[in-house]
Chain A
């Protein structure tokens, strides 16, 4: 087993394993769903069921992050994860708000990007946020 070395008491290891499995499902769904729909392999209500498969995978990413926070026993590390989640959420919400109002009230044209790019951007920004929060804590520790 690839993940045999991951301890059951290691929440970060469990998180990485979950993320890997969800990423496999998500990646496969990104290729399979358009192929199934554009190739007319599904029809009627089944199109709706198939179309939401990538969204369910994205929900899985958020579930895994939630579990990481819940399962992390080290309370300070848990606080750092929560801080990173808040930084990421604040950044993404601020950016999408600015973007939305600029589109609505200025001459900047509408950018044709599907709405699901917002949670994907959030997920990609989370790890830089965790790195940033850890870095600021290290700098803070060095200064005190």
Chain B
């Protein structure tokens, strides 16, 4: 999954330690999420969304969703 966490954090002039403290996680966790090496659990994703006052899909985007939609559209077209 891709995310805009680094951008949103930078807009608020927060460093990783600030964000980690607000989310009650370690700085290592914030780094891992920002670099895309770790996808947070749903509860943490909701917590992040609440903190930035934005819907989850405005922060996280599914990289494979485009391909999935393409295959879905293709199969629907073939069925018709």
Contact = CB atoms under 8 A, between A and B. Distances in A.
Contacts of A75: 25, 29, 40-41, 44
Interface stretch (A87-95, A114-122, A136-144): A136-144
A76 B36 contact: no
B37 A77 contact: no
B36 to A, nearest CB: 7
A137 B44 contact: no
Interface residues of B, number: 15
B37 A74 contact: no
B28 interface: yes
Nearest to A80: B28
Interface string B1-39: 000000000000000000000001110110111011110
A40 to B, nearest CB: 54
Interface in A121-144: 137, 140-141, 144
A138 to B, nearest CB: 8
Interface of B: 24-26, 28-29, 31-33, 35-38, 40-41, 44
10 contacts: A74-B29, A75-B44, A76-B26, A76-B28, A77-B29, A140-B35, A141-B32, A141-B35, A141-B37, A144-B37
Nearest 3 pairs between A and B by C-beta?
Answer: A76-B29, A144-B35, A74-B26
